Every structure is written in structure tokens, then in C-alpha cells.
Structure 1
Amino acid sequence: MDANEPREQGWTQFGDKPPAAGGFTRQEPAVMAPPPPPAARKPGFSAGQKVIAGLALAAMAIGGGVAGAAIANGFRPDTVVSAPSPTFKAASNALTVADVAKKVQPSVVMIQGQVAGGSGVVLSEDGLILTNNHVVSGQGGQLTVKFSDGKTAKASIVGTDPATDLAVIRAEASGLTKAELGDSDQLKVGDAVLAVGSPLGLDGTVTSGIVSALDRTLNVGGEQERVPPGWPGREQQGGAPERASIAGAIQTDAAINSGNSGGALVNAAGQLVGINTAIATAGSTGNIGVGFAIPVNTAKQVADQLISGGKVRHAFLGVSVTDASGDVPGALIGQVTENGPAAKAGLRQGDVITKIGDKTADGGDTVSGLVRGFKPGQQVKITYMRDGRTAEVTVTLEERK
């Protein structure tokens, strides 16, 4: 393998699918007594708070759901506001969760296919929609889009990029509300976010949370669970999605479930900052508060290429890598492609790559994902170790064939 090929890791993929035939089981709601008055507490977080994440892929999601009752105003630890509609702080004005949801929902759609489904984000008034490759792959090109006003339209695939798990489709519609794009490079851990999509077939769902971490590396794809018995198209399963390696992913605790994939992750100003793609499941298929989104800056770069030419050009380093062992985390070079970019720059078998550009490369998966974040022809500085000494080299990346 080379650094552009994703490697196996502990992820499992499940498909997004409609609820089983017959609808949902009705349950009596639990009766809860009014909560007691909030007790005075000291600012800050308790020392016992921890985040535990086991990574397992969960793809093909549709939706989100509104959540939230009390959020610290501006996230100041000494000011806690308890209110029905918590306040998000935007750069120049204050928006409530309800304001952000109202702004974003018309730009998020539900996507249904023969095999499975997911969510999508409107890019243009004339029907261009961004989603995940695994949402539309294996559907035989027969897609239906459902908008926030309940209307539906047929859609066709403009282009797909399995390497980044992104795709663009075009709905036969006009006058759509396109999403406002934000800047994912400006995100900080702790920023408030909303996830919008159609989890479990519940279109128009909104969930709230924060940015839990940044710069995660995901190896996703490769499998796709099919729709339940009794749903049309079950026998037309198509092919499984290809695997993708994604660097720089956004981690969030906003609830994401099967059906959210391809939907929107937005900031407190209602700007798109990510495309919801995967969740950690810890042995189950439901949300455990650890979800992941592709940064919008990456998604926009890929979408622009798909719209203009139907395919994406990916950078090629020309090495195969595995996780390094020993005291220094990094990616151990196994093989170097003859006359490839790495070979021309002087990298050798046995070198340990520790950084690409200004990003730390703590393993083989990270190198694969980081390389895909560059364009062919770009020059990138690579920091590596050889014989216990640190060195740097500049590599001119080429196009992956």
C-alpha cells in the first residue's frame, strides 16, 4: 500500500436505512417531576470528568434533533443561564439554538435510495447537494431528495470521491436555500455546534453539542448494511462503498445516529463547518456522544472539483507506511515507490515520518489522511527520523494515478 491508501483499523460501517416496516413502536412517555432549583456550584469542571471514546465507524445517517435547556452564556464558567432557549454567541450578535436551527433546516435534505439513505446539504439554489459517498454509493443512481417543506424531487449523481467519502448530487429543483459556509480552520475545542439531518429516518432533526476535539484521523467505509426486509430495492444491493482515510476530522458530542451522514454540522452563527460522517459505537449502533464530521474546508475543495470535472485529483507521496514502534510516535516507511515524490526527495525505507507540514503524524493512518489534504504539485515539508536523528525534507507531491 502507499500513503494514499487507507489502512484497516477498528471501524465498522453500518448503512443508514428507513425504520422497519410497520412504523415505530409506541411507548408511553415517562412522567418526570419538576426539577429542583439549581444548587449553587463553583465554576469550572470537576476533576472526575473524562471522555472515553472507542472508534467504530457509523455511516449513512439522516438527521438530528433539537436538544438543550441550559448553556453557560458565552461559556463563562462563572455565569450559568437556565432558560428554555439557550443562547449561542455569534461574533457580532446573539443567536438562540432555535434561531440557528430555523436558519439551517431549509438547507439540509433527506436522501433516499434503493438500498439506504442519508442526509445532504444544499450548495446552490439550482439543486446541487453535498453528501457522503457512502450515502449514494450502490444506489444504482436512483435517488430521491426530501426537503424541509416536505416536497420531494428526483436526484442524480454529479460526482463521487470514495477517497474522502464525499459526493455531490443534483436534485431536479430550483429556488432552494443554500447553506452558508463557515471556516472550519477557525474552530476551537469547546465551540458550540448543532448537527442537522435525518437520524433513523426522522428528517429535520437537530441536536446540540460542542466541538469535543479536532484533527482526528478516520479510516471509514468498506461495508454497507442494507435496508430491512419488506422495503423496495432490498434485493438490489449494489456494491459496497470504498474505504476512505480522512485527516483533520471534527469530533463532537452532538448526537449523531444512523441517517445523519451527509448532514450539516454548523457553528453558533448557523454556518456550515462540517459534514457529519461517522460515530463511535462501542459495540452498539447508537449514539454514545462521539461523532465525527469532515471539515467544510476539505469538503468544499472536493465539491468544487466534483462540480467542475466530476472527479478529484489526489496527491501522491509514494511510500507505504505502518505505525512506528518505540519511543517516538510516527509512521514507519516500509517501501518507497521508485522515482516517486518521496524517493526523489531522498526519503528511504526505515525512515520514521513524524510531521507533514505543521501537522503531527503519529501513525500510518494520519500520514495517509494528511497527504490527501494536499493538491498534486504542492510542496510540503516532511519531518522524519533516521538513525536517531531528526531531519527535514521538502517533497513535491504528484497526482495519484
Structure 2
Amino acid sequence: MDANAPREDNAGGWTQFGDKPPTAGSFTRPGPVLPPPPPPRRAGFVLSRKAIAGLALAAVTALTAAALGGGAVGAYVAEGARPASTVTTNVASPVFRTASGQLTVAQVAEKVQPSVVMIQGQNAEGSGVVLSEDGLILTNNHVVAGQGDQLTVKFSDGKTAKASVVGTDPATDLAVIRAADVSGLAKATLGDSDQLKVGDDVLAIGSPLGLDGTVTSGIISALDRTVTAGGGNQDQQLPPGWGRQGQSAETTTLGGMIQTDAAINPGNSGGALVNAAGELVGINSAVAADGVNLGFAIPVNTAKQVSEQLISKGKVSHAFLGVSVTDATGDVPGALIRQVTAGSPAEKAGLKQGDLITKIGDTPVQGGDTVVGQVRGFKVGQQVEVTYQRDGKTSTVTVTMQEKK
């Protein structure tokens, strides 16, 4: 992706649903576990201007993960081709300590596994999380995109059902599907991703490499990461079952992502990241390539806001700032405004071409992707403070987000 190309930011405007669940604590670290299965064949690499050399991108949709405090690393969407066999792995039995008592890791896994499904399409597969007893399932957009009506859901008890798409939102890489003719499903308990802290223990549950019901353990490694998805090139080689060679992907930027070292592999996309109480805190979406154990999940608070709109309306309303930005090139990090849209919230707040945005909301801006990713987390009508520099002077304005038309 050309880092200097203008990018129009937009974001989802959402409403929350459900009660806020209790927060969870942590557990004692587990002992050694068996090594993971061999990785799939990976594609050639596509790196952003700031990328660390040698990290491959491999998927129908490529990803680069840009830490707010540093450069980008290569990553790929955790969606995969299907092997013939299916097994379930589990971790040992350290203890999760929560405010309401103690659960072993095995107990948490046993609680959550029935709420996580495998999703199979025409040429790829991933995972999903059950939202309702009658078959609503949350997953990634890139898991179901291009799969048509050929979706099949496999549940933890081995039963399968055909599924159809309820709605998709490429801007947040989320989708909701509905499994047909099912009832009494075990729906996930939704947590509160705003309560997560670096170091909290988590489990990732999904179907990496087609191995449904796989459980891996780790911690929250970092919060509020910005991940840029897409930008596949003409030479990208795709593993078998992932689509034709040279397929490119539309670029989208996701802000506020959760980083974890819980093992995430192709096929985990759309699966569950859960806390010590077995509450869903994230939707696993991407992982760094070439053995770099960095996985990324969409926060559940974003996912539940988006999924509510997809279920009720089939689409999502996105907020609009109205600037095209590029990375700053001087000594001060930030996002340089290349263009301001007439009549936009940015223009109404007094932002101009050439201004350097250094902070948006509570987040320091390291580049254009930070602005784009953060705006996607704002709601229509939300007031956000934007700090910028103009002619060497620092100022702050309040911007009221409008709905993107």
C-alpha cells in the first residue's frame, strides 16, 4: 500500500446492547505445551513503508499491523484451507482467578467451546461465535466474503448446518451469518473489552488449519493497535484453497485492536478470544507471519455494536471526519492533512490542509493509519478532541462526527 496515497477516513457509529459483564482477573501461567502443527504454505510478502523486512503476508486479504508506538509488522488474516482430519487440543489445568472464584483453564475451555463454530466456504474456512440460540453467528467479513451461498457451519458436537449471510461490514472486518434450522445453541457470554489490561490471561478458541475446537492460551500483549488490512499485489501467491493467484484485496484500517500472544493460525479468523471468566473479549482476526507470535483481535465492544446494526438493519452507519491524510515526514510524528472535504466535520471545526494531527481523542497519532483506525471507533454525533500543529503552534479543536453518506 502506498503510504503517501490520500485516504478518506470513516468509522462505525454504533449503539451498545446487553448488560456490562463483570471483569475477569488472571490465572497462574501454564506449563509447557505441545508444539503447534506445521504452518501452511504462505504467500509472498507485501509490506508497508514502515514494515519490518522479511515478514510475509499470506491470505486472500493481507494485513500489516502498525503499533501506535512504532513501525508495522507483516501479518495475515487467520483463515485457512482445510486439512482432512479434525482434532481438539487443550491446555493443562492452571487456575483462572476471577472476582467470583476460581476456574481451571480446562473448565473455561469446556464452557466456551460449544459457543465456537467452524465455518466452511467454497474455497476457505474460518471460525465463528454463536450470538443467539436460534443461529446468529458472529465472524470476520473476510471469512465469508466471496463465499456466496456455500456456507456450512460445524458445531462443537459435530453437527452441521447450512448458513446464509445476514450482513457484512468490510470497514470493521465483521459479519453476521445465520445457521438454518437450528435451536437451543449455546450462545457466548459477552465481556467488556474496555476493561482489559496488558498482562491479562486469555484463551483463543477456533479452527486453525481446520482443527475445530482448538484451544490456545496466552496473555494480552498490548492494546489499541492499528492494523491495516488489504493491499495484496499482483505477485501474491495464495495457498491451495484460498483463491486464485494474484487476487488483490481492498484496503481497510482497523483501530483499537487487541494484541495477544495466544497462538492464532489460519482458520482462527472469527473465533473467540475469551478472558478468565470465559467471557468473549475479542474476535480473532490476524496474526504475524514467519513465526512471529503476534495475534490481533477485534474488541468485543466494537463487535457487539457492529453486529447489532447488522442484525437489525443489515448494514452499519459509519462516522465521517472528512480528511485525507498521509504519514508525517518530519521530526514530529503525526498525520499530515492533504485535503479537507467541504462541509465536513473537519472543515466545520477549522482544520485545514497542511495541519499536522498529533492526537485524536486520547490516542497519540503516529501516522495516517492511526487517524483512520481511531475514527472507525467513533459514533455518529460523538464529540472528539483533535490536537494539531499549524505553523509550529499546537492547538486543539472539538470535532462532532457526522454520518458518512
**1:342-361 → structure 2 map (5 Å cutoff):** 342-361=346-365
Structure-2 separation of matches of 1:369 and 1:14: 21
Quickly say closer, same or farther: Cα 1:64–1:312, change in 2 above 3 A: farther
Shift, 1:342, TM fit: 0.6
Please say if 1:4 is aligned against 2:9: yes
The residue type paired with residue 9 of structure 2 is: N
Structure of higher CA gyration radius: 1
For 1:58, give the aligned amino acid: Y
1:344-389 deviation per Cα after TM superposition (whole angstroms, max 9, x unaligned): 1110111111111112222100100111111222221111111112
Residues 99 and 15 of structure 1, relative CA distance in 2, 3 Å threshold: farther
Tell me: CA distance 1:352–1:53, structure 2 relative to 1, closer, same or farther (3 Å).
Answer: closer
Partner of residue 319, structure 1 = 323
Query: Are the counterparts in 2 of residues 216 and 250 from structure 1 also a CA contact under 8 Å?
Result: yes
The equivalences for 1:287-306 within 5 A come to 287-306=291-310
Which region of structure 1 is more displaced relative to structure 2, 201-210 or 388-397? Answer: 388-397
Provide the C-alpha distance between the structure 2 equivalents of 1:135 and 1:195, rounded to a whole number of angstroms: 17
Structure-1 separation of matches of 2:344 and 2:354: 16
- Cα distance in 2 between the residues matched to 1:2 and 1:305: 25
Report the equivalent of 1:196: 205
Residues 143-163 of structure 1: CA deviation (Å, up to 9, x unaligned): 000000000000000000001
**Aligned partners of 1:2, 1:93: CA distance in 2, in Å?**
48
Letter in 2 for 1:203: D
User: Aligned pair in 2 of structure 1 residues 13, 167: CA closer, same or farther (>3 Å)?
Assistant: farther
Separation of aligned partners in 2, 1:86 and 1:53: 35
Aligned residue in 2 for 1:48: none
Asked if structure 1 preserves the Cα contact closer than 8 Å seen for 2:59 and 2:79, the reply is no
5 Å-filtered alignment, 1:110-259, equals 110-172=118-180, 173-223=182-232, 228=240, 242-259=250-267
**Structure-1 separation of matches of 2:243 and 2:344:** 44
1: CA distance, partners of 2:188 / 2:271: 11
- For 2:123 and 2:238, locate their aligned partners in 1 and report how far apart those are by CA, in whole Å: 6
C-alpha distance in 2, partners of 1:154/1:357?
43
Change (3 A) 1:53 1:388: closer
Counterparts of 1:131 and 1:157 in 2: how far apart (Å)? 10
| Alignment partners' CA distance in 1, 2:171 and 2:230 | 9
Q: 1:264 to 1:291 in 2, by over 3 A?
A: same
Residue 243 of structure 1: how far off its partner (Å): 2.7
Task: Check the 8 A contact 1:15/1:258 in 2, yes or no.
Answer: no
For residues 353-372 of structure 1, the aligned pairs below 5 Å read: 353-372=357-376
Structure-2 change in CA distance of 1:54 and 1:243 (3 Å): closer
- Cα separation, 2, equivalents of 1:324 and 1:227: 36
Please report how far the alpha carbon of residue 177 of structure 1 lies from its aligned counterpart in structure 2 after TM superposition: 0.4
Measured in 2, the distance between the counterparts of 1:382 and 1:117 equals: 40
**AA matched with 2:258:** I
SS in 1 for 2:375: helix
Matched with 2:35 is none
Q: For the Cα contact (< 8 Å) 2:87–2:212, is it kept in 1? A: yes
**C-alpha displacement of 1:85:** 1.2
Cα distance between partner residues in 1 of 2:8 and 2:254: 12
TM-score by length of 2: 0.79
Aligned partner of residue 301 in structure 2, secondary structure: helix
| Count of residue pairs brought into register by the alignment | 342
* CA distance in 2 between partners of 1:253 and 1:113 (Å): 28
Cα drift, residue 240 of structure 1 = 6.0
What runs of 5+ residues in structure 2 fail to find an aligned partner? Answer: 1-5, 12-46, 62-69, 81-85
Task: Encode CA deviations 1:169-196: one digit per residue, 9 max, x unaligned.
Answer: 0001111000000000100000000000
Q: Classify 1:234/1:395 alpha carbon distance in 2 versus 1 (closer, same or farther; 3 Å).
A: closer
Change (3 A) 1:176 1:145: same
Spell out, residue by residue over 1:50-100, the C-alpha distance to the aligned partner (whole angstroms, 9 max, x if none): xx99622311437997565xxxxxxxxxxxxxxx51111112211111011
Give the match for residue 34 of structure 2.
none
CA distance in 1, matches of 2:356, 2:308: 34
Q: Identify which range, 106-115 or 218-227, moves more after superposition.
A: 218-227
Which residue type is aligned with residue 229 of structure 2?
Answer: V
Partner of 1:55: 73
Q: Give the 3-state SS of the residue equivalent to 1:157 in structure 2.
A: strand
- Partner amino acid for 1:157? V
Residue of structure 2 equivalent to 1:78 = none
Moved more, 168-177 or 381-390: 381-390
Q: Secondary structure at 1:105's aligned position in 2? A: helix
Residues 207 and 390 of structure 1: is their aligned pair in 2 closer, same or farther, counting only changes over 3 Å? same
Displacement of 1:234: 6.7
The structure 1 residue matched to 2:336, chosen from 332, 338, 363, is 332
**Does the residue aligned with 1:4 lie in a helix, a strand or coil?**
strand
Whether 2:393 is the aligned partner of 1:389: answer yes
Amino acid at match of 2:227: L
